[in-house]
Structure 1
Amino acid sequence: MAASVSLARPRTRPALGAAVAIIRPLLPVVIIGVILFVAPAFLSDFRQNLLAKFLCFAILAVGIDLMWGYTGMLSLGHGVWFGLGGYAMGMYLKLEDADGGLPDFMNWSGLTAVPWFWKPFEHPWFALPAAVLGPGLLAFLVGYLVFRSRVKGAYFSIITQALALILSIFFVGQQQYTGGTNGLTNFSTLFGFTLADRATQDVLYFITVSLLLLTMLFATWLTRAPLGNLLVAIRDD
């Protein structure tokens, strides 16, 4: 009997160690998730919306951490992809507010019709994929050209900063099409729901929290996968 017990112990300890190894990196994500999901019960509308904006930037920060912290490549234009996705969604929101007319800044700029490249963004089924796939495809193209040329170190940072500056100058200079320095503002509805309603704000907040947690879980998995070791190898090369 004693022999059977002693033989069983080595089997349970490796299993317990494996479970701890899996749970330990996920524990911070779970704690953060619990805090964020209960936070609206203690926050005003203004502070909840402000926290939601911070969480959007936290998603961006996870990407920067993977690029700079693990791969050792400092991207000074990381906001380009984030901003392009936001602009795509903003175009839909402005057209939804206009209800078939011209967005306010186009009226002020003297346009008489919605530009052709704005037209597809009247439809959410186009705007949503465009907000994700558009920046993703552009990032893939830029990344392919940069890494194919073996650009690294300070040169990589300079290229990404130049890209951010070029797009910033372009968007600011096209006032009648992009809103210029003001950008796209004063949204009132989303898919027909009023953005000022607390219920709409709650849904958007919880969607943002969920996306952040999924991003953190993906980053946690990635850094512990073979690809994560490859990222570190690039940094240490």
Structure 2
Amino acid sequence: MTKLRPWFSLIGIGVFAVLLLVVAPNLLSLHWINNLGKYCCYAIVAVGIGLAWGRGGMLVMGQGVFFGLGAYAMAMYLTLETAGPGKIPTFMILYDPLAPLPAFWEPFRNGGFALLAIVLLPVIAATVLGFALFKRRVKGAYFAILSQALAVALATLVSSTIRETGGDTGLSNFKSFFGYLLNDPANKVMLYLIAASALILCMLLVWQLHRSRFGELLLATRDAEERVRFLGYDSANVKLVAYVIAAVMASIGGALFVPIVGIITPQEIGAAASILMIAGVALGGRASLFGPVLGAMAIGWGQSSVASSLPEAWVYILGLLFILVTLFLPKGLSSLFARVRGALPGVKAQERIPA
């Protein structure tokens, strides 16, 4: 029994992969496939948050920054692909027909550069920010406030640069994705499968990190950072690596979100969006592997389904849900499994470890 415990999560990932990649495409309508693809994008971000916050103790309330970097990098490429070779996007022509394409847009005509930017931009931004904060031992509420302030700043910057980024209306009306027409149902299913596969790969990566020496160091840094330093490890570097991994996952989620949903606006990357990302992780259980994924999907479903039919009540429903979870399940809904398993007869006391 004890020998199988480390593999429970891997078996769960396998079952989850079958449900997402095999069962869902064959049972769900195209509408729900598209919605599930969007939830997978949120879940990719949540997996990274679970690593940085649940395992590392960093309350990353500004993941909208990295989500936005990936989303706008992909949106810029898709916009230029739709416009055609050498042409300027339609929204720029409306504001100034004679103005040239901004210099920072030009490289995004190349799909390879866009894909590279989706990975490198969050790595650079997270490394610079994380190094500046962790080396100065900024943590707790101060780190959370600073990270969220960056999300607000980025959303404000995008909103104010109407000609360069589309402003509040964002970027939309994409026609193709690397040569594949976006209005083709088969290509929509393909995009969903890409997002679902990316989610599974992110979960596998985090599962492996949890079992590695790095995962143990990250957990030790969360619980006893001073002792980790005393033992000769640089806790700042440990946290930095987790923060960068979470940033890249957020960027990948944002990049896949754009062709699936068909639009990106400042509202998707600001403070409110970042709080919803954290909320899903808290709801599901930040310390577990599946908790952030299921929590993010639940929040995504609530936002697109409940909020659309009951827009005024959704905020109150969400608030009440989190009050109840905080009071009765402070470790999230995933801790229910550990509680039920711990209450079963024959389970040893040392095996009753909370999720």
Q: TM-score, normalised by structure 2?
A: 0.60
Query: Are 1:68 and 2:53 counterparts?
Result: yes
Shift in Å, 1:23: 2.7
Q: Which residue number corresponds to residue 190 of structure 2? A: 203
Query: Are 1:104 and 2:90 counterparts?
Result: yes
For residue 186 of structure 2, what is the amino acid of its counterpart? A
- 3-state SS of paired residue (2:197): helix
Q: Which residue number corresponds to residue 35 of structure 1? A: 19
4+ aligned runs moved over 6 Å, structure 1: none
CA-to-aligned-CA distance 1:163-199 (integer Å, 9 cap, x gap)? 1111111111001001111111111101121011122
Equivalent pair of 2:92/2:164 in contact (CA under 8 Å): yes
Shift in Å, 1:40: 1.3
* 1:51 pairs with one of 15, 36, 41: 36
Q: Which residue number corresponds to residue 179 of structure 1? A: 166
- 3-state SS of paired residue (1:76): coil
For residue 88 of structure 2, what is the amino acid of its counterpart? L
Q: How many Å separate the matches in 2 of 1:43 and 1:109? A: 42
Q: How many Å separate the matches in 1 of 2:13 and 2:121? A: 29
Shift in Å, 1:146: 0.8
Q: How many Å separate the matches in 1 of 2:42 and 2:82? A: 25
Equivalent pair of 1:81/1:136 in contact (CA under 8 Å): no
For residue 116 of structure 1, what is the amino acid of its counterpart? A
Query: Higher Cα Rg: structure 1 or 2?
Result: 1
Q: Which residue number corresponds to residue 140 of structure 1? A: 127
Q: How many Å separate the matches in 1 of 2:31 and 2:123? A: 32
Q: How many Å separate the matches in 2 of 1:233 and 1:79? A: 27
Query: Are 1:23 and 2:7 counterparts?
Result: yes
Q: Which residue number corresponds to residue 10 of structure 1? A: none
Equivalent pair of 2:30/2:189 in contact (CA under 8 Å): no
Bigger mean CA offset, 181-190 vs 22-31? 22-31
Q: How many Å separate the matches in 2 of 1:135 and 1:94? A: 21
* 1:86 pairs with one of 52, 60, 71: 71
For residue 177 of structure 2, what is the amino acid of its counterpart? L
Q: How many Å separate the matches in 1 of 2:28 and 2:96? A: 42
The RMSD of aligned alpha carbons is 1.4
Q: How many Å separate the matches in 2 of 1:72 and 1:17? A: 27
Q: How many Å separate the matches in 2 of 1:22 and 1:149? A: 35
For residue 60 of structure 1, what is the amino acid of its counterpart? V
How many equivalent pairs are there?
221
Q: TM-score, normalised by structure 1?
A: 0.89
Query: Are 1:169 and 2:153 counterparts?
Result: no
* 1:122 pairs with one of 97, 101, 109: 109
Bigger mean CA offset, 23-32 vs 154-163? 23-32
Q: How many Å separate the matches in 2 of 1:160 and 1:111? A: 37
Q: Which residue number corresponds to residue 214 of structure 2? A: 227
Name the % identity: 45
Q: How many Å separate the matches in 2 of 1:215 and 1:192? A: 26
Q: How many Å separate the matches in 2 of 1:164 and 1:51? A: 25
Q: How many Å separate the matches in 1 of 2:2 and 2:13? A: 20
Give unpaired runs (5+ residues) of structure 2: 225-355
Q: How many Å separate the matches in 2 of 1:216 and 1:42? A: 24
- 3-state SS of paired residue (2:18): helix
Equivalent pair of 1:111/1:176 in contact (CA under 8 Å): no
